[in-house]
Amino acid sequence: MKAPRIAYIVGFSAFFADMGYQGAMAILPIFLIFVLKLNFYVFGIVEAFIFGLGALFSFIGGRFSEKYGSKRIAVIGNSFIPLLSFTGFFSIPLISIGFFSSGWWMRNLRSPARRSLLAENVEENQRTASFGILHGLDVGGGLISIIILVTLILLHFSYKYLFFFSIFPLIISTIIIASVKDERKRSKPVKKEKNYVNSKYLFEGIIIGTSLFGFGSYSMGFPIITIAQSSSIPGAIAIVSGVASYGIFLGFSSLTGFILSKYTIKREALSLGVFGYIMSGIGTLGFTFSIIYSLGITGFYLSITVVAIAFGMVETFEPSIISRIVHPSRIGSGMGILSSSRSIGFFIANIIMGVLYEIKPSYSYMYAGIVSIIAGFIILYSLRRENKISMLEII
């Protein structure tokens, strides 16, 4: 079934949000390494602090969305994301990182509420298409952000303005999400309430799987730095080559979301495990081979493309499945647990990545790839524990 109108409204709010902060996120590692002169070990800790501690805010956002309303929390969280726009105004690392962290944590607070708002206002059989549209527009805005960022870099704008540009689309994003009419058109469950409990193995499998996937995930800052440092041309071109990899990631991830919104996928959980987690791990291992065998920028870009497609699968299937295997009254908490579970792993992953990167860059990607593949097998194992026929029919 086609995605309803509200999916496009929420999606365009996400489009402008990503048009704002994705550029800031892409330039952050360059700013931390080349301007603030952090080493990779400290960089990994900072990335873990910024992105990993968001687990707490994701969990709170999910719970608050149930208590105070999904739209209200989504609007409040979105309103404070522009704090990260002031990152480049300070050369003192603690203050600069503090501004970016505060804005990013508000983004974490908003994310489960925004997913809940969408899930609560569409029919159950529209959710996969709706989350596909949401993800497609979401990271599609990020791609536009990268194009703008690259243009500003080539025009030699200072870091202050590279970050500050993000404030304008973020304001538009908040206005759009505030205009959403929360009609709460929840469909009547096609399963009895007890059947949600019977899906506990799959729910546990996805939560454990996404946590482990988080342990295998890493800030895109690592590939950006890897590619920038491997460039044979120094200066702005090297930075652009690194930032462009993030644009490739966002572009293919967005395209995957749009494609998934057009087709009915019967075995979403199986696809999540194989084409989400496992394929992401294979793509990440591609970085290891590119470094070892000196495949150059072609190898890096091919690897990031595989990771991007897999990530599009994950971001579409995870919330769609969770919205159907938790009780309708607990969708907010389910989305909060989903987001926070990955963020917890993400916290540890970036510290490990930073340490291994200091030793040898290929080790860090090897670690992340193997862990992501294991996460995929956990999903497959959880499906095996469930009643195969009924779960494949449900999911």
Q: Which residue has the higher pLDDT, 144 or 199?
A: 144
Q: Are 317 and 188 in contact (CB under 8 A)?
A: no
Express each pLDDT in 203-224 by its tens digit: 666 777 777 677 666 777 788 8
Q: Which residue has the higher pLDDT, 276 or 233?
A: 276
Residue 34 belongs to some domain of the structure: yes
Express each pLDDT in 67-122 by its tens digit: 888 899 999 999 999 999 999 998 888 999 999 999 999 998 998 889 888 888 88
Q: Which of 299, 79, 289 is nearest to 174 (CA)?
A: 79
Q: Residue 131: which pLDDT band, with cuts at 50, 70 and 90?
A: confident
Residue 19 has pLDDT above 90, yes or no: yes
Residue 94 belongs to some domain of the structure: yes
Structure tokens at 24: 């800031």
Average pLDDT of span 20-34: 88
Specify the pLDDT at position 26: 85
Residue 185 belongs to some domain of the structure: no
Q: Which of 149, 135, 123, 352 is nearest to 244 (CA)?
A: 149
Residue 211 belongs to some domain of the structure: yes
Residue 125 belongs to some domain of the structure: yes
Q: How far apart are CA 236 and CA 216, in angstroms?
A: 30
Q: 382 to each of 20, 202, 389, how far by Cα in Å?
A: 38, 5, 13
Specify the pLDDT at position 202: 66
For 390, residues 6+ apart whose C-beta sits below 8 A from its C-beta are none
Average pLDDT of span 241-246: 86
Specify the pLDDT at position 391: 43
Of 24-28, 186-190, 243-247, 364-368, least confident by mean pLDDT is 186-190
Residue 154 has pLDDT above 60, yes or no: yes
Residue 228 belongs to some domain of the structure: yes
Specify the pLDDT at position 184: 63
Express each pLDDT in 342-390 by its tens digit: 767 777 777 888 889 888 989 999 998 998 898 888 878 777 766 553 4
Structure tokens at 235: 């200066």
Helices 221-230 and 40-47, packing angle to 10 deg: 150
Average pLDDT of span 239-260: 87
Structure tokens at 241: 């080559």
Q: Are 283 and 304 in contact (CB under 8 A)?
A: yes
Q: Structural domain tally of the chain?
A: 1
What radius of gyration, in Å, describes the C-alpha atoms of the chain? 20
Specify the pLDDT at position 321: 77
Structure tokens at 273: 């495990």
Average pLDDT of span 226-253: 82
- Helix residue ranges, H only, the chain: 5-30, 40-47, 54-68, 70-80, 93-120, 127-154, 159-164, 167-178, 193-198, 200-216, 221-230, 236-262, 268-271, 279-292, 296-325, 331-359, 361-385, 388-394
Q: Which residue has the higher pLDDT, 229 or 339?
A: 229
Residue 258: Cβ-neighbour burial (10 angstroms; 0-12, 13-18, 19+): middle
Q: How far apart are CA 166 and CA 169, in angstroms?
A: 6
CB burial of 35-61 (b: ≥16 within 10 Å; e: otherwise) equals: ebebebebbbbbbbebbbbbbbbbbbb
Express each pLDDT in 155-189 by its tens digit: 889 999 999 999 999 999 999 999 988 766 544 44
Residue 196 has pLDDT above 90, yes or no: no
Q: Give the highest mean pLDDT range of 199-203, 261-265, 313-317.
A: 313-317
Average pLDDT of span 34-44: 83
Specify the pLDDT at position 310: 93
Residue 235: Cβ-neighbour burial (10 angstroms; 0-12, 13-18, 19+): exposed
Structure tokens at 105: 């944590």
**CB hemisphere CA count around 205 (13 angstroms):** 24
Specify the pLDDT at position 235: 64
Q: Which domain holds residue 65?
A: 5-177+192-394
Q: How far apart are CA 342 and CA 215, in angstroms?
A: 8
Q: How far apart are CA 373 and CA 351, in angstroms?
A: 20
Residue 332 belongs to some domain of the structure: yes
Three-state DSSP class for 47?
helix
Average pLDDT, the chain: 82
Residue 187 belongs to some domain of the structure: no
Specify the pLDDT at position 188: 45
How is residue 191 annotated by DSSP?
Answer: S
What's the chain's length in residues? 395
Three-state DSSP class for 235?
coil
Domain of 15, CATH number, reads: 1.20.1250.20
Q: Which residue has the higher pLDDT, 143 or 169?
A: 169
